[in-house]
Structure 1
């Protein structure tokens, strides 16, 4: 192989790996912020949920649009919109309603992007019939908070992608 062609292939590989790592890092920032919102809702904390939702919105905006696969753009827009709506909600019930929409779309994105640096647990509340993601296997139900904190079950584990 000619040195010029080898150099070109090597540079293309470096760009590919760098882009993949940037996407991984930015999506993991979204997951981290999402988990903070989930934990605030589980603790019935309206004010902290608003604060962490602002951080989530910032993390979502930090993901470069050109790094989101075309087939995920609609999902990504729903993620952005539902995060905004959580921050605008006047009460915790409203926050939880929008969190259900956010969770549906975060689950779709997490499964499609396969970029989570640590295991992520998909959990399900049979009472509310909703799914969410968690950073731990322990159930902390964001839809019922302290009223039914441990209601739910792990339905799937998304293995860490290295």
Structure 2
């Protein structure tokens, strides 16, 4: 009986830690998105590095390998805003797979879509601020789903 209680406790701790870490990954992701919206490649590069490190330091989860590969590709874009934007969709779609089923994300998350780039991103705000075009087409897009 003790072993069962210990096993359940370990599992519950693991799930709650992952839930908290999902929020941490989301916050790092949002920093990248906001830098891309502002067309600030240096801030984006810094935020990308933080996101990449956050993914690496996480315990295993279903999409870890996929997300790590996508964030590493994003990291390789360096300070080139167009390359950063080109790699951002892959990270966005994987992040949505993490966030959508999570019952521990305590705020709405909007999965938004840019029809011009045929690409997605996540946002904590319903208002469209397109990270793929920055100020040139800031409000281009729509909310595809809400969590």
Q: Could you say whether these structures have the same fold, taking a TM-score greater than 0.5 normalized by the shorter chain as the test?
A: yes
Correspondent of 1:122 among 111, 129, 133: 111
Partners of 1:76 and 1:11 in 2: how far apart?
Answer: 26
TM-score, length of structure 1 as denominator length? 0.81
Trace 1:124-139 onto structure 2 (pairs within 5 A). 124-139=113-128
Which residue in 2 is equivalent to 1:22?
17
Correspondent of 2:130 among 141, 145, 156: 141
Unpaired runs of 5+ residues, structure 2, are none
SS state at 2:117 partner:
coil
SS state at 1:29 partner:
helix
Shift of residue 86, structure 1, vs aligned partner: 1.9
Correspondent of 1:80 among 68, 81, 84: 68
Structure index of larger Rg: 1
Cα root mean square deviation, aligned: 1.8
Partners of 2:109 and 2:101 in 1: how far apart?
Answer: 14
SS state at 2:100 partner:
helix
Contact 2:22 2:98 in 1 (8 A): no
Equivalent residues, number: 146
Which residue in 1 is equivalent to 2:82?
93
Shift of residue 112, structure 1, vs aligned partner: 4.6
Shift of residue 128, structure 1, vs aligned partner: 1.2
Shifted more, 115-124 versus 97-106: the winner is: 115-124
TM-score, length of structure 2 as denominator length? 0.89
Partners of 1:15 and 1:21 in 2: how far apart?
Answer: 10
